[in-house]
Homo-oligomer: A and B are copies of this chain.
Amino acid sequence: MHIEVINTGTELLLGNTINTHGAWFGRELFKLGLRIARQTTVPDGAAIRESIEEAIGRSDAIIVTGGLGPTSDDLTREITAEVLGLELITDEAALRSLEAFFAHRNKPMAQANLKQALVPVGADVLPNPNGTAPGVYVPPRLNDQANCAIFLLPGPPRELYPMFHNEVAPRLKAMAAIDQAHGSRELKFTGIGESDFHQGIDAQLATIPDLEFGYCAHIGEVDLRLIGPPEALASGSAIALEKFGTFLISDDGSSLEATVVRVLKERGMTLATAESCTGGLIANRITNVPGSSAVFGHGFVTYANGAKSSLLNVSSDDLATHGAVSEVVAKQMAVGALQASGADIAVAVTGIAGPDGGTPEKPVGTAWIGLASSNHDAIAFKVFHPRNRRDFKLAVSQAALEAVRRRVLGLG
């Protein structure tokens, strides 16, 4: 089923507003086993006509957002009717609902709002309990040019999202009955690169009937996405896991931090963090996970050497002899955090984020990651991510969280 999304709004193209509709529709349609074939953003006005005309010819369904308001640049309704050669008439129920909306708020209804009750002849009005703009559904049969359903939806998420769930999703589901057997799966990996997958499993994945697959590489992470019928998903997952299973973060789209919180929770363990170069990013990522307070209570951001000594009991002598970015200091930070927090496991990072502070022996991008837990000797290992400051922090935090995951799961 070929579905296109057209987002209208000059503000989306001037950079004032990030278009989050695309991603939201993607997720929601995906849950129905459907996909967006193309998403287009056009400014208010005549460009809407062109994009609707083009999409009609190749689509089974078109979802248009925005341009249903009362002002002169809200033209989606008018343009759609023109393109389809349908007259616009006032829908009595939509008009009553508009009047009720204003009455409920003790506000007079402006003359301009009257046009919001207009719909193409034969189209359905989609009620909007959360705003003034009712949606419009033009069934395929009304369209002479192609067998294409058209949904006109309001732009604001608080109006759009409920209308999609209540009015659009059920209609799409009915239309797409055949496609429902297809599903999707996202496997997240860390510690290996996209080209490892390409060389390692692409050829095998390509032999699986009806399987679509693709990769999305982030810093310190590669996501493998599989789309197809259940048996194709199972076969694809099996191939990926056989080759790269120990690098798997999650097979349900969960982030590394969410996975770390989950595995700690499952084992009743708590984590403490001691961060120098990542400056609080690891703690921040962990506390982005709802429920993380069950496993995370203490975080130290010891950016200064003095903080490493006073808060984490790192030896001043070792700091002077080996430098803050060293194996011995990373270990002592982890041990210090473990003791000061009473946590079951502690992870520490110390490194050189740059742009300044690098030396030939310890260039910008160098970091040591220390790990301590009640039942293991402390260890530390070095990573090297010569990137800009933020990406360095992200890459190091990723390596640190992965080290925690592996320790908790006993992956060594």
CA distance A30 to B43 in the complex (A): 14
Partner of A112, one of B110, B130, B198, B217: B198
Interface flags, A172-214, vs B, CB<8A=1, else 0: 0000000000001010000000111111001000100000001
Instruction: List B contacts of A42 (CB < 8 A).
Output: 37-38
CA distance A19 to B5 in the complex (A): 14
B298 touches A303 (CB 8 A): yes
CA distance A112 to B340 in the complex (A): 48
Closest to A38 in B: B42
Indicate whether A39 sits within 8 Å of B36 (C-beta atoms), given known contacts A280-B301, A283-B301, A297-B307: no
Interface residues of A in 73-125 (CB under 8 A from B): 73, 104-106, 110-113
At the interface, is chain A mostly helix, strand, loop or mixed?
A: mixed
Instruction: List B contacts of A412 (CB < 8 A).
Output: none
* Oligomer: number of copies: 2
Instruction: List B contacts of A29 (CB < 8 A).
Output: 15
Whether A166 sits at the interface, judged by CB under 8 Å, is no
A10 touches B194 (CB 8 A): no
Using a CB–CB distance below 8 Å, which chain A residues touch chain B?
Answer: 9-20, 22-30, 35-44, 47, 51, 54, 69-73, 104-106, 110-113, 130, 156, 158, 184, 186, 194-199, 202, 206, 214-217, 223, 225, 253, 273, 275, 278-284, 286-288, 290-293, 296-304, 306-307, 310-311, 340-342, 353-356, 384, 386-391, 393
